[in-house]
Amino acid sequence: MKELKIKEFLHKVVPQQKSTALFWGIIIVFAFAAGFLISNGGSSDKAGHQDHSITEQPEIDFWTCSMHPNVKQPNPGQCPICGMDLIPVSSGKLEEEGPREIFLSEYAQKLAEIETSPAERKYVEKETQMVGKIEYDETRLSYITARAPGRIDKLLVNYTGIAVKKGAQLAQIYSPEILSTHQELLESLKAVKSLDDSTDPYLRSATLIQLNSVRERLRLWGLPPSQIDEMEKSHAPSDQVTIYSPISGVVVHKNALEGMYVETGTKIFTIADLSQLWVKMDAYESDITWLRYGQDVQFTTEAYPGEIFKGKIAFIDPVVDPKTRTIKIRVNVNNPDGKLKPEMLVRGFVYSKLNSSNKVINPELSGKWISPMHPEIIKSAPGKCDICGMDLVSAESLGYANSQEIEKSAPLLIPASAPLITGKRAVVYVEVENKTGVYEGREIELGPRVGDYYIVKSGLHQGERVVVKGNFKIDSAVQIQSKPSMMNPEGGQQMTGHQHHGEVSQKTTTPQKTKKVEAIPEIFKRQLDDVYQNYFYIHYSLSRDEFEKLSRLADSLLFSLENVNMNLLKNESHLTWMEMLEKVKNSVIKVKNGANIEQARHGFDDLSQVMIQVAEMFGSLQYSLLVYHCPMAFDNRGADWLQNRQGVENPYFGSSMFGCGELKQNLTLSSNQKTTRGHEHE
């Protein structure tokens, strides 16, 4: 065919009257040039001639989609369902290939972009983030109350916030009962002084008992010994009783006024010692395995940016809050200079390392003994707490590893992208040793996540290489061969080419939005509505330039994502949500870590793109889902976002151009989810 085309071309360019020799000479020149170009492959890279294993493609049976393995096409192209590039499936395999193994040629590995990483034992530090606020130390609060009924004649401390020293005068009260008791005290003293050696012993004893009884009555009314001594030295009973401060601190509440009558037990003042405070923080339920009594906590405040304060965990609530699914953590903090104030908001950080037995690694506490009430009391041997007198407990009993466990029990870690997690199962693909291109699917038991790693409890050995990129594509190929996979642990019947063809043709003739008809459980959409709600909170803050709220709102969005149960979804919906979930998390982290509001808005742009896809796929039970577009965002590149109510509220410009944008699409109206009905969120 090529020769015929060349002849046709030559007949056009070479006159018919020319000689036959000239005609065949031109043919030889063209043939030589074409042979030279073909032999060089259009490239000057000589190494390409030698590596035939890379340039030569194996025989391909068909092309399929990594996300939709039921798609089978004879030629390369895009998936008719999701638009992803199709990958080749070759019949080449090893004869000794096992039931959970799959062979990929070198060419297929390159197309699937397979990357592996070894499982290794090492300690990785986990940063646990918490938010909370500063509160009074309950053990350092003192209530000043009326010990006897009377009238407040004078308030020596007459406003809140004033600092007082221990023993300072607070108020003067007229109390008829104390006045009569003072009179009785003076008379008893006179009776005792009148006694002499000739006095009857019984009378002497009765007089002394009477005096001590009066003194005890005054003591029980709260009068200090020094004040009782002054009353005894006076010549006449006083109609005024002074109330003294029992501690040094700040008057945080004043509950009385001058001239006011009080009864026994009436609260007059509340004094707080602010030299030590409590910081109460909320920890996610999933982070509790990283927290221990006595751990060091670092935290920052809005008042002192860049300054890090420290304390120790003194209490971990034994009960989970059923509404927020968080656990209260109390931290004891010294505040000698008074910088920290109650009700300040804080952001805390705890850095932890776990061994293979889920014990926290802290060399400073290895072999130590700690007070169960005061974590700052640490000793090298058993004994008593210097503050409360309680018996010290060993650090190991509180969940810390001893020195031997620190040296020998580093956890086995794999990258977080390696396991395919669905429900309670986790599947990894392991590079089979001594079998080039063979990967084995293996179920493993995972421990907690540590940053970019997972702790492996069982199923893997140190040094085995797991697939960290391209594992979804391998799993799709495994499903095609009806072998055990992530979604089908037992394997299944392989579908015929006619069946696949029928499914593909049916889906390609149906608009893509009809995928929403696939049954999405109502409970899943209710959980997803919490995600929408937190997204709308972030949108609201950005549109109103409230940068300081974004980190806390991002944490709430991440928390709501954890509560979405993907096990409620099946088949394509499940795979789609798994793919979108990681994108949402990564985008939220960009918003959270934005150093300023402009960086946060770039992260919100990424977040909005994937949230719009989530809205198109899954819809909502509670919210209207309106897509707005601003053509001027990001230097006229343009950007979209979701709103749950009418009217432009631009998150990319905020107050500078709050109304810039237009309604692009109403996903609530275009959705065919019949059970979905939008309600505006105020």
Residue spans of the domains in the chain: they are 2-50, 126-135+277-408, 138-272, 513-670
- When pLDDT is cut at 50, 70 and 90, the band that residue 567 belongs to is confident
More confidently predicted of 464 and 219: 464
- When pLDDT is cut at 50, 70 and 90, the band that residue 210 belongs to is confident
- When pLDDT is cut at 50, 70 and 90, the band that residue 250 belongs to is very high
More confidently predicted of 358 and 93: 358
On the question of pLDDT at 258 being above 80, the answer is yes
Beta strands 296-301; 345-352: pairing state? antiparallel
On the question of pLDDT at 29 being above 80, the answer is no
On the question of pLDDT at 636 being above 80, the answer is yes
On the question of pLDDT at 324 being above 90, the answer is no
Could you tell me which residues come within 8 angstroms of residue 60 by beta carbon, excluding any fewer than 6 positions away? 88, 89, 90
More confidently predicted of 585 and 573: 585
SS3 563: coil
- When pLDDT is cut at 50, 70 and 90, the band that residue 310 belongs to is very high
- When pLDDT is cut at 50, 70 and 90, the band that residue 274 belongs to is very high
**What pLDDT score does 201 carry?**
81
SS3 212: helix
On the question of pLDDT at 256 being above 60, the answer is yes
Q: Which of 123, 127, 118 is nearest to 414 (CA)?
A: 118
More confidently predicted of 207 and 490: 207
Q: Which two tokens stand for residue 86?
A: 């199709």
Provide the total of helices (H) and of strands (E) in the chain, helices listed first.
17, 32
Average pLDDT over residues 10-21: 43
Lowest mean pLDDT among 206-215, 400-409, 514-523, 653-662: 514-523
Residue-averaged pLDDT of the chain: 81
**What pLDDT score does 97 carry?**
62
- When pLDDT is cut at 50, 70 and 90, the band that residue 109 belongs to is confident
Contact 267, 151 (CB under 8 A): no
Q: Which fold has domain 513-670?
A: Four Helix Bundle (Hemerythrin (Met), subunit A) (1.20.120)
Average pLDDT over residues 441-463: 90
pLDDT digits (tens, 9 = 90+) for 47-64: 333 343 333 445 677 788
Contact 476, 69 (CB under 8 A): yes
- When pLDDT is cut at 50, 70 and 90, the band that residue 96 belongs to is low
Distance CA 279, CA 328 (A): 10
Lowest mean pLDDT among 30-34, 369-373, 377-381, 443-447: 30-34
Lowest mean pLDDT among 57-61, 145-149, 394-398: 57-61
On the question of pLDDT at 46 being above 70, the answer is no
Mean pLDDT: which of 295-304, 550-559, 620-629 is highest? 295-304
**What pLDDT score does 335 carry?**
94
138-272: CATH number:
2.40.50.100
pTM of the model: 0.54
Distance CA 423, CA 403 (A): 36
Q: Which two tokens stand for residue 7?
A: 């002849």
Distance CA 165, CA 267 (A): 19
Distance CA 334, CA 314 (A): 13
Contact 221, 205 (CB under 8 A): no
Distance CA 54, CA 58 (A): 10
Contact 444, 71 (CB under 8 A): no
Domain 126-135+277-408 has CATH 2.40.30.170: yes
